Structure 1
C-alpha cells in the first residue's frame, strides 16, 4: 500500500457522518398513517325475519290433482268366437292335373327295325389292324456305352510334392542390417559452459521498496500539517529540473 492510497483512505474516513446519540424512532409510514382507532361496528343490512302465519286450513289439492281426476276404467270386452259349421256336401279331391291327364290303357309299341340276317363265314378271323401293318416290330439290340477317349496320359513315376510357390520362393539365410545410427560418444569441448538464460537477463532482482508510511518521518517528504483526528499529511519533494 502506497502513501497516497493511505492518505485517500484517511480523507474518506474524515468525511463520514458523525454518530447521533438520540434514540431511534420506531415509527414507520404505515404506523403513522394507520394508527388503529376504534371504529363503529358495521350494521347488518338484511331484512328482519317475520314469520307469516295463517288461520285458514291448508288445501291439499294441487294443479295436477285438479287437472287429472281419476276416472272409472270399464272392463275389457271379450270377443266372442263364432262356432265352426262344416259346409254341406262332400269334398272334391280332383285337381286340374287329374282332370286334364286321364290315364288310358295303351299297348306296347313294337320297335321298327330291319330284320337281322346273320351269315356264317368259314374264313379265319383277321386280327391285324392298320397300325400293326404300318408299324411292325423290328428286332433291336442294346447299344453300348459311349466312352470318351482320354486325351491326357496318366503320369508315371513318383509324386514330387513340390508346388510352384516352393519352387519359386526358396528360403535364404537372413543377413542382419547394419545400423546407420551414429556412435554414442560424448563430444568434449574446452569452451566454458554459458549458463546465461533469457529469464536471468530480463528478470533481474529489484530492490524492495519500503512503504513511506512505516517511517515516523518518511524520506523525500516534507511535513505539512496535522488534522483534527491526529493524521499527519506530508508532501513529496520534487527535484528541480535545470534549464539548458
Structure 2
C-alpha cells in the first residue's frame, strides 16, 4: 500500500502542496469540475427590487412674491461721526548696564576628554565544504522523444479552369463612358442690381441740423503761490527721543568647538557581548524529492478536433456579379423645377425712408396702459412633459429561439471532478494517514485504511493451541 501526496492525487494540475510548487507534467490545462462556488453556494429565490427613485414632479406656488428681505427689515441707518485720532504711548527706555550672563554659560563649562576608539567586530566564518544536492528541476524533469505532428489539410475539390485568362473585368465590359456638356449656372445676373443714377447723400441730419454759435468756455482764475514766511523746524520725534547711548558689544553665546575629552577608561562592555553565546552551526539539510515513475500504457493523441471535424467535399463558390444596366437611347431632359418656376424680376434701388417733419403730438393725456398690459393674459402653466423614453425594454410575445449550432452539434461529456478538491471533506475517498516532520501530508484511500485496520486486528488476536 502506497501513500500519496496531494500532488499525486490531483488530476487537473491546479492542486499542489507548498513543497512541490510545480504541477504534474501534461495535466496543467485540464479544467476542474469541482469549485468552491459550486460546493458552497446555495441558490435562493428572489425577484426584481423596486426602484427607490422619487417621481419627477414640479412644485409650483401661486402666492405673490414678497420683496421684503432681511436687509430691508433689520438694517437701521446710524449717524456717522468723525473718527477720533489715536496717539500711541511714549516708548519707555530702561537705563543701566545689560547683564548678558545666562544659565547656559554658567553651568556648561568646557571639559576635557579623549577621543572614542573604533570598535571592530570579528568577521563571519564561512564553511569551506562544497554544496551537495540536486535541484528539483534536474531530478523531476526528463526529456521525452517527441515526433512532429502531421499538418491537417482539407481538400476542397477545387478544379482550375482550362481556358486562358482574357484580362477583361466586368467593370471594363459593362461600364460605358457617356459624353455630357457642361451645365449652365442658374445663378441670377448681377447686372440688374446696378443703377446709373447718382448717389443721393441727403440725410435727415444734413437737412434738419442747424448750427448755433458756441459760447466761450468759463475759466477759473489761477491762485498765486504764497510761500510760508516762518522758519522750518527740522527737529523730529526720532532725533528728540532716541538719544545715543554707550553700551558694550554682546558676547557670543556660541559654545567652544573643541570636542569633549576625558581621562577615564572607555567601558566597551555591551549587552551583545555579555549575553550573546556562540552556538555551533550545522549545515542545512536538503530535502530529496521522490523518484519520478512513468505511467504504463500508450498516450491517446486523438483530439476532439480530429475526431469531429472530418474533411467534407466542398464546391467552388460562384462569383456574384451585379445586374447589367441597359443603356437608354432617349434624349436627356435638362428642364428642372427651379429652371421652370424661377422668373427674373426687374430690380431697382428701394426709395429712401425719410422722417416726416409734420408730427403733431396728441392732446389727450397718457392713460398709462400699454399694449403688453392690455393684450397679455396670464395663463396657468404646469410642468413640461418629459420626452425622455421610458426605461422599459422591448418585449416580444414570441418564444426565444435558443437553438444554436453549439447546442445542436455539441455532445456533452462527463467530466470527473478532481479528487484533490474534496480532501478533508465528507465527500472525499481519501483519509489523512500521517504528516512528516517537514509538513508533508500523505493520504490513503478508505479501502486501504479499512484493510490495514483489519490486518492489525487479526495480528492482535491470540493463537488457539
TM-score where L is the length of structure 1: 0.22
Larger Rg over CA atoms: 1
Work out which structure has the larger RCO, using CA pairs closer than 8 Å and 6 or more positions apart in sequence. 2
TM-score where L is the length of structure 2: 0.14
